Structure 1
């Protein structure tokens, strides 16, 4: 590990613990002394870790001068704030993106700029099949996180108390403000088309994309490197920002992705070691290496100014620059914070599948079921935490 080679005061030992859900479960079920000094977790675990309280807020080290955040995008850092304090440090930042086969679009005569709206995305999916360049036109990975981002672009919160950011969430509001109906309705409509491929996972979508069974799909922008590796030299992989729903064309996504939490084990020296690791990883040259290899998004302005990154967005993946510009301009304060976010995501996925498999199961049935099931999970979480 480069950090260990660069200094001799601290040693970082990385241990893979499975998915984010697996890591969160192991962390919360372990005695404090057996927990790691730092944990990398996405928004599924944010409210749980906040409620657990077993962490040093990053704000402490910013205020002490140990962490300099002057080069970071303020709106990205704001997404990792709760009640005025920055709780964790953004590590792998991403938003949903459209991945598309450049050559397939050229053969079908489709301008990628039309993908900016849902209508344009859906029409492109049909045209790709009609042109005979692919079996399926488009796909949206069945990931509730994508739906959450679409709701944000429409200005729709998911839970009460300012999306759980001004106090503990007590109930779902996406069923009341029209967010669920708006997004689930559009995704159901798209998934019901014969030209649509409906993948159960991002891996399934990437496989279909690489084999040219489908010419475009939506998943996390941070998997650009993975997609490029799988596709190899078969065709050119490009990206565009997530489409907008009708009436909300000016909406913007919010900074999402996993963060580093400094675990409070009563050892401030180790916590300062984690701070040093964060500082090392976030050095401009290290960030550029990480971003160019993976596809995650820059959060430092000096990374954006770096010649290697400038060359990347000019000559390799210009679409990612559009995605970064949206991230810079976004004022949405971040995703919903509530302790059963993972359960909510599974519930939404269940109800989407129910609509697709049973034509008599209406959109209103699905929205009602999501609300009832999620509110029960919120109540159970709040009662036990």
Structure 2
């Protein structure tokens, strides 16, 4: 998420105030009954350019019928939104529909404050097979879809084809394994034109590199068979990954620019590093920024040679229905959810944000076909998603303390890269801290 300055916030506040003022006017759209359309409040965390896209989707839905009026309200970052939501759960002041990042899923289920989407799906006989199974898989627990996927991304390898060529590497062959990446990055650094690679210290990357080796991140089937009680971040998959990462930095094949993904992206766009890991949602921006300077290549996430079959976990967020709102309001919000999952709206969402379409038929839309011609790099992301084998590792870990766990892992990566601890000691320490937090959290969960 981008940082918000006070000017932008003021704009949002004014826009919200204006919306509130116009809502008080009580004009019901033509054709609405005397009490006016059913109002649905939708809280989201899409800032910057994506905020306009969300608002456009809500406006299009409102214009498409006259019984329901959706009000989309930006609530800051994912963390900010979740904090605000927690304060409204026992009141009548919260939203009907809310966007929560994927790592908030366990908390949302345990909160007992939601109506599972499966309830509306069953009543409506909504056909779930029209959605991407590797995306719905993440949000499915015990055979039930609890929330509707919305913005979905996964990480891919971005590389500078010109720097590959300059170092005598084949620009059409990105590295597939840790070992290949190390050799290629080393060659690029030694060419003297740029540093071979950079990975931002972001916990999401570690989670993904586990899944790509078919390795689970927490016990009890990645927290899907029962509540997770233990972190597995110190296991072989973790130690292997962090040792490789540290070795890249120690040998100058990669540099360490810290935790901010923005710093990693800027270095890539400036031609200072040849390879980075980044979300598929950054593709358009990275390709646009490189225009006239160099050609951007994309590859699958690397894995250790000989690793078990794996794949990527979907990142992003999904839509949750709050159960403290009246039934008719929840039903109205479900109509909006169905609208958002239609191929046409998913095509619009995908082209304007870079997130994946969650609906298979969106790929048949001409606009999506045209967009893939313009950004052929996105095909990598689509192929990587479709080639992922769905199992508990690639479905992704679920734990109620995920945001804290991610921070702890980032601290451990820093300790190892800065030679304060060995990769094994750093990750063992992180696993111990996360396991303690998990056990604390589990005591608070009502059975």
How far apart, CA to CA, are the structure 1 residues paired with 2:424 and 2:92?
48
CA deviation map 1:116-161 (0-9, x unaligned): 1112222222222333432x22111211111111111212111121
Structure 2 CA distance for aligned equivalents of residues 105 and 282 of structure 1: 40
Q: Shift in Å at residue 284 of structure 1? A: 1.4
Q: Unpaired segments of 5 or more residues in structure 1? A: none
1:44 Cα deviation from its structure 2 partner = 2.0
Residues 152 and 332 in structure 1, CA contact (< 8 A), matched pair in contact too: no
Instruction: Give the deviation of 1:89 after TM superposition.
Output: 0.7
Q: Are 2:396 and 1:335 equivalent residues in the alignment?
A: yes
Out of 142, 161, 171, the residue aligned to residue 102 of structure 1 is 161
1:87 to 146, 166, 187: 146
Contact (CA 8 Å) 1:253, 1:332: kept in 2 or not?
Answer: no
Larger Rg: 2
Partner of 1:218: 277
SS in 2 for 1:157: coil
Tell me, yes or no, if the aligned pair for 2:174 and 2:298 is still in contact at 8 Å. no
* Structure 1 residue matching 2:175: 3-state secondary structure: helix
Per the alignment, residue 164 of structure 1 pairs with: 223
Aligned partner (choices 79, 82, 91) of residue 32 of structure 1: 91
Q: What is the DSSP-based 3-state SS (H/G/I as helix, E as strand, rest coil) of the residue aligned with 1:338?
A: coil
What is the root-mean-square deviation in Å for CA atoms of aligned residues? 2.1
Question: Which moved further from structure 2: 200-209 or 105-114?
Answer: 105-114
Q: Is the 8 A contact 2:217 2:231 kept in 1?
A: yes
Deviation (angstroms), 1:352: 1.1
Deviation at 1:166, TM superposition (A): 1.4
Q: CA deviation at 1:17?
A: 1.9
The partner residue of 1:372 within 424, 432, 438 is: 432
> Comparing 186-195 with 282-291, which one deviates more in the overlay?
186-195
Cα deviation, residue 57, structure 1: 0.7
Distance 1:17 1:221 in 2: 23
Q: Mean alpha-carbon deviation: is it higher for 296-305 or for 37-46?
A: 296-305
263, 267, 284: which is aligned to 2:343? Answer: 284
The alignment's TM-score, normalised by the length of structure 2, stands at 0.80
1:356 to 402, 406, 417: 417
Structure 2: stretches of 5+ with no match in the other structure:
1-58
User: 232, 240, 249: which one pairs with 1:191?
Assistant: 249
Looking at structure 2, the residues matched to 351 and 245 of structure 1 have their Cα atoms a distance apart, in angstroms, of 20
* Secondary structure of residue in 2 paired with 1:115: coil
SS of 1:224's equivalent?
Answer: helix
* SS of residue matched to 2:349: helix
Q: Distance in 2 between matches of 1:13 and 1:120?
A: 49
Alignment deviations for residues 232-287 of structure 1 (CA, whole Å, 9 cap, x no partner): 54333332221112221743223332111111123122212222222222221221
Match of 1:119 among 159, 173, 179: 179
Pick aligned residue for 1:324 from 378, 382, 393? 382
The alpha carbon displacement at 1:372 in A equals 1.3
> What is the distance in 2 between the residues matched to 1:2 and 1:161?
43
- Residues in 2 aligned to 1:372 and 1:238: alpha-carbon distance in whole angstroms: 39
Closer, same or farther: CA 106–276 of 1 in aligned 2, 3 Å: farther
Cα deviation digits, residues 35-78 of structure 1 (max 9, x gap): 21111111221111110011111111111126332321223212
Distance 1:182 1:260 in 2: 35
Could you give the per-residue CA deviations for residues 213-233 of structure 1, whole angstroms, max 9, x where no partner exists? Answer: 222210111121232344454
**Which residue pairs with 2:442 in the alignment?**
382
